Structure 1
Amino acid sequence: MSVNIVEVDRVSKRVQDASGELTILHDISFTLAAQESVAIVGASGSGKSTLLAILAGLDTPSSGTVRLRGQDLFVLNEDQRAAVRGAELGFVFQSFQLLPNLNALENVMLPLELRGDREARAMATHMLGRVGLSQRLSHYPRVLSGGEQQRVALARAFVMRPALLLADEPTGSLDFATGAAVMELMFELNREAGTTLVLVTHDPAIAQRCERQLRIEAGALV
């Protein structure tokens, strides 16, 4: 029997702008089973990235709850949510989000060091080898290609063995061939790690590789 790792219950997000109240998300409910892969799809501005930020506890809903392994994220304070993110979540962004003053190895080591892992260097070295970057450990982001930077970002996310990986348009700034190779690697690593994957994408071919698709239109699940 599959176990739900995430439960999203009637989540709405409203913000005030110059014209009054704007609803970004309306009454969203779904569950994610352990090791499931799910694509969140929809037009630009439909609320996909806002939903991903709420799943991560980086943004707060106006109403509704998100439970991760049964824990309501929004009864926690920001420090407690940050601790949950460090223990349970991995992130891959369109813009890579690597620290420019750290080399590839140091970027992958950083979350392990923050967690207090004594084997951080060995674990990061192994993971960079797994994504094909054994020869690039000491290279800084500015001298890596876009595809190499995203591979470093994948290594940094998966080295933590997260229960839940959130990916926001991970191939959005890559050319087609590089993006396809990065996605192949992401799905491979995901299978190996047994991680639950939530992927925001505009690309129908990528979405179809996931076990399920959630379509957001005008802030509502359709």
Structure 2
Amino acid sequence: MMRNMNPDTSPVLEAVDLLKRVDGVDGPLTILQQISFAVDAGETIAIVGESGSGKSTLLGLLAGLDVPTSGGVRLRGNELFSLDEDGRAALRGESLGFVFQAFQLLPALTALENVMMPLELAARRDAAVVARRWLDRVGLTHRTGHYPKHLSGGEQQRVALARAFAVQPAVLLADEPTGNLDAVTGEQIADLMFDLNREAGTTLVLVTHDERLAARCGRVIRMAAGQLVSDSLRAVA
């Protein structure tokens, strides 16, 4: 199922006949079956489904963090799997931001250093200035020198959001970004993520089992048993 809402603009991200199989005890196990869809710049998309439906595997393939059995992914017109691992890493660094359920902050680095890291990898001389600006934007001006173990879950996810947006990604990939947070904190983080995404004009691809979170996106892709079963637009206020 392919969708291009603006025929004059190439998709920023595209999955083409993605198939993923792994070796199981009783033989090959199919995780994803011929998944195809296109994402236009500026879209907000939720990928939903029950546990085991393949949605996190799909997100890993879209990021080039995993390799499909067959099929491809195009990111800003570049075929990810025609590149070697270093090439995929370079393209990720230029084009993608990530927010994970488990935060994925480096424990030996302060909040400021965690946000600076992708900027420094991109050889940005203003890494510290940009990182401080984003930590201020997520309300953590007073926590820049703190290590992850001294931050609450909500604060760690705010650092992760600052790190993701600091590189000005074309696409933000978020995997259950509120999954490790209580309901109130999760709602605050969701509000912040959507606010930042709107301000930055980023394309958001969000994996979630939370239907309320999915309802905040303009498009919902639903998966079951490794297959794409529906792809629908939503009216978002």
Normalising by structure 1, what TM-score? 0.99
The residue correspondences of 1:71-150 to structure 2 (distance < 5 A) are 71-150=78-157
The answer to whether the Cα contact below 8 Å between 2:10 and 2:77 also exists between their aligned partners in 1 is no
Query: After TM superposition, where is structure 1 displaced by more than 4 Å over at least 4 residues in a row?
Result: none
Q: How far 1:3 sits from its partner (Å)?
A: 3.8
Aligned to 1:154: 161
Aligned to 1:28: 35
Aligned to 2:203: 196
The answer to whether the Cα contact below 8 Å between 2:18 and 2:68 also exists between their aligned partners in 1 is yes
Q: How far 1:18 sits from its partner (Å)?
A: 1.1
Higher relative contact order (CA 8 A, sep 6+): 1
Q: How far 1:165 sits from its partner (Å)?
A: 0.6
Counterpart amino acid of residue 91 in structure 2: V
Q: How far 1:64 sits from its partner (Å)?
A: 0.8
Normalising by structure 2, what TM-score? 0.93
Q: Percent identity?
A: 63
Name the CA distance, whole Å, in 1 between partners of 2:204 and 2:134. Answer: 18
Counterpart amino acid of residue 176 in structure 1: A
Q: Provide the aligned length of Structure 1 versus Structure 2.
A: 222
Name the CA distance, whole Å, in 2 between partners of 1:206 and 1:181. Answer: 12
Asked whether 1:47 is paired with 2:45, we answer no
Q: How far 1:7 sits from its partner (Å)?
A: 1.4
Asked whether 1:63 is paired with 2:83, we answer no
Name the CA distance, whole Å, in 2 between partners of 1:127 and 1:3. Answer: 30
Counterpart amino acid of residue 81 in structure 2: F
Q: Render the CA deviation track for 1:58-93: whole Å, top value 9, x for unaligned.
A: 001111111011111001000000000111010000
Name the CA distance, whole Å, in 2 between partners of 1:178 and 1:136. Answer: 17
Aligned to 1:12: 19
The residue correspondences of 1:210-221 to structure 2 (distance < 5 A) are 210-221=217-228
Flag structure 2 segments of 5+ consecutive residues without an equivalent: 1-5, 230-237
CA RMSD of aligned residues (A): 0.7
Flag structure 1 segments of 5+ consecutive residues without an equivalent: none
2:12 match: secondary structure = strand
Name the CA distance, whole Å, in 2 between partners of 1:28 and 1:121. Answer: 40
2:215 match: secondary structure = helix
Aligned to 1:174: 181
Counterpart amino acid of residue 131 in structure 1: V
1:164 paired residue among 149, 160, 171: 171
